[in-house]
Amino acid sequence: MPQNFSTLEPLTCGSVSKQRKVLVTGAAGRIGSYFAEHAQGKYDLRLMVRPGDDAAKLASLGEVVEAELSNLPRLKEVCRGIDTVIHMAADPSPTAAWDSVIENNITGHYHMCVAAKAAGCRRLIYASSIHAVSGYAPDVQVKANDPVNPGDLYGVSKCFGEALCRYMAEQEGLSCIAIRIGAFQPASKADEDDAIWMMDHFVSHRDLNQLLHLCVDDERLRFAVVHGLSDNRFKRLDISSARDLLGYQPQDDFTELNDRLAALRLDKVQAAGAIRDGMKSGLRDDL
């Protein structure tokens, strides 16, 4: 079975400084702005927004720059001096039409990878999505090394993005980590009446933020695909690779944040056949 990661020992591309210079594309979006707010001070941030975006809240968090994903020469300028690119900019809609997918999620991602390579960046962290594998049946828990199976054209663009990341890492020397992000929501949203739709793929702000920091700081991986979910009782995506490769330790669980599910004490439910309190171990005669 193919492995969706590879390593360098040590990682030799780029240079390491005491404070990494990190570029965040799509910095005015929900994920990018939250990361910027909680990464200031730890990293030297350059925050990329589109012309016309409201970037007033970002001005105190780092250097704000304007650029379009269609403008490769400008992207090369924006990437100059950067250690790590966190690439969030894209059309985020699962119902996006092909013209937008091509322009923003495919050509735009290609331009971002080329710009990062041309500028000598060490790593690019790519915002992939659960939609890259949402074509699997609902009762299947998808592992990071399972074949891609997109459920929509947006997911198709994320499959392309992951493939391009692997090419850039293995053939062009730009380390890339792709994070398949689930339903990124504040913890308060998990307790809303209609929140059950995200029970198996919820990721809290603080959990995804932790994973992004781990991806920036890692010095070993050349390429990896990891799953960005919280530690939910029921997980559509297996998060083992994020735990094993990066030391990810998510703090939140949708079934504990939702009051109605928390009352069911699902944390006490064990798989059929597991040893329960009061049951004797099969090793009892030999212990």
pLDDT at 14: 47
pTM (two decimals): 0.91
pLDDT tens string 114-172: 999 999 999 999 999 999 999 999 999 999 999 999 999 999 999 999 999 999 999 99
pLDDT tens string 223-248: 999 999 999 999 999 999 999 999 99
pLDDT at 1: 39
Q: Which has more pLDDT, 47 or 272?
A: 47
Helix or strand run (H / E) with residue 118: helix 108-118
Neighbours of 2 (CB within 10 A): 6
Confirm if 238 and 227 have CB atoms less than 8 A apart. Answer: yes
DSSP tally for the chain: helices H, then strands E: 9, 10
Q: Of 62-71, 79-88, 255-264, which range is least confident?
A: 255-264
Please enumerate, as own/partner, the contacts of 114-118 that have beta carbons within 8 Å and a separation of 24 or more.
Answer: 114/72, 114/75, 114/76, 115/72, 115/75, 115/76, 115/78, 115/79, 116/79, 116/82, 116/85, 116/174, 117/168, 117/172, 117/173, 117/174, 118/76, 118/79
State the average pLDDT over residues 190-209: 94
Give 276's pLDDT tier (boundaries 50, 70, 90): low
pLDDT at 263: 85
Q: How does the average pLDDT of the chain come out, rounded?
A: 92
Q: Of 78-87, 97-106, 163-172, 267-276, which range is least confident?
A: 267-276
Pairing state between β 221-228 and 5-7: antiparallel
pLDDT at 193: 85
pLDDT at 36: 97
Please enumerate, as own/partner, the contacts of 260-269 that have beta carbons within 8 Å and a separation of 24 or more.
Answer: 261/199, 266/233, 267/233
pLDDT at 203: 97
